[in-house]
Amino acid sequence: MASEGKNLIGVDIGSSAIKVCEIKEGRRGVRTITRFGYHPLPAETIVDGHIINSSAVVEGLEKLFAGSKRRNVALRASGHSVIIKKISMPLMTAAELSEQINWEAEQHIPFDLDEVHVDYEVLHERADHGQMDVLLVAAKKEEITDLTNLAMEARLRPMVVDLDAFTIQNVFEAGYGGATQDETTVLVHCGASTTTVNILADATTAFTRDIANGGNSITEEIQRQLGIGRDEAESYKCGGEGRGIVPREVPEIVNQAVEQLAGEIQRSLDFYLATSGDRELSRICLSGGTANIQSLLDILQERAQVPVEALDPTRVADVDEKAVAELQGRASQAVVSIGLALRKERERN
């Protein structure tokens, strides 16, 4: 991917908060995170990936961009509106693939093709077998239109819409040098309502899956068992956050909910290992707000029997002094917005 121009501003509209990141790239390719903004959203603003309370989102965007002249942004799409599939096709030229891809999409995408944007990328050519692996992506036009319209309502200019799984991969490749040919790395992003699994084998995407479970389920379990409000439960989940002593039952409740989430992640990993012919995983990198819960890392490591670490997005760039305080304690939540902020104003394959 060749890129030109300034970096876009990364805007991650999640179900619990909006995160905004700005990266500047110097002439020698030295990157600096110059700004990070975080704006919590009211509960039920986004439900099952659908924006219910659009005015809360627009208001949040306007606050985060108050006083900013730069308005060219990269947004992200995720959830049920997006399908990612790796497919095998006969080896063919780029022109032949362009003609053939819609027919292939009809076989693999459970939506009417008129309703979706389709994109694709060749991952591997296996000339000895006359085959090639292609990553096929479809995103519902309606969802993308809703997202870009919201941004425009806040006087932003959407230039790119990327997918959760690929924004995390951007960060991993820029900050960690990517996966090597002989290792299998699992990137797991645990957001508030969705967990995205992206497995990189031989340095390319081999498997992706969205799990409809995330940090909200842990908060809801604390609420249910202690009979308390959402805000109080959320603060206990995060270690108290100024609400005094955390009730002694909380760690056990968190562990129960985390066990369930780790079990669902493990089932995705088992399915990949059973169907891919890959023998073992090399490591798991965890991101998203739920990655701040240490027991999730510990339980996942115990289940998967491979090293599990929190993905550090600040490895992609130096951090400007003004952005340090804003990023403090929120690095895991910043990953998607940082991955989006790596995108450029003019990109071409």
DSSP class of 320: -
Q: Which residues contact 224 (CB under 8 A, 6 or more apart)?
A: none
DSSP class of 278: -
Give tens-digit pLDDT for 33-59.
Answer: 999 999 999 888 887 777 888 999 999
Quick one: pLDDT at residue 243? 59
Give tens-digit pLDDT for 261-319.
Answer: 999 999 999 999 999 888 899 999 999 989 999 999 999 999 999 999 999 999 999 99
CA distance readout (Å), 6 to 73, 160, 345: 11, 13, 6
Are the C-beta atoms of 223 and 323 separated by less than 8 Å? no
> What is the CA 18 to chain-centroid distance, rounded?
13
Cα-only R_g, the chain: 20
Are the C-beta atoms of 270 and 305 separated by less than 8 Å? no
- Report the 3 state secondary structure along 101-164: HHHHHHHHCCCCHHHEEEEEEEEEEEHHHCEEEEEEEEEEHHHHHHHHHHHHHCCCEEEEEEEH
Q: How large a percentage of the chain has pLDDT more than 90?
A: 58
Quick one: pLDDT at residue 4? 57
Domain positions in the chain are 2-219+250-348
- 240 falls in which pLDDT band (50, 70, 90)? low
Whether the pLDDT of residue 259 is over 80: the answer is yes
- 2 falls in which pLDDT band (50, 70, 90)? very low
Quick one: pLDDT at residue 288? 93
Which CATH superfamily does the domain covering 2-219+250-348 fall into?
ATPase, nucleotide binding domain (3.30.420.40)
Give tens-digit pLDDT for 109-136.
Answer: 888 989 999 999 998 888 888 999 899 9
Please state the rounded mean pLDDT for residues 23-29. Answer: 86
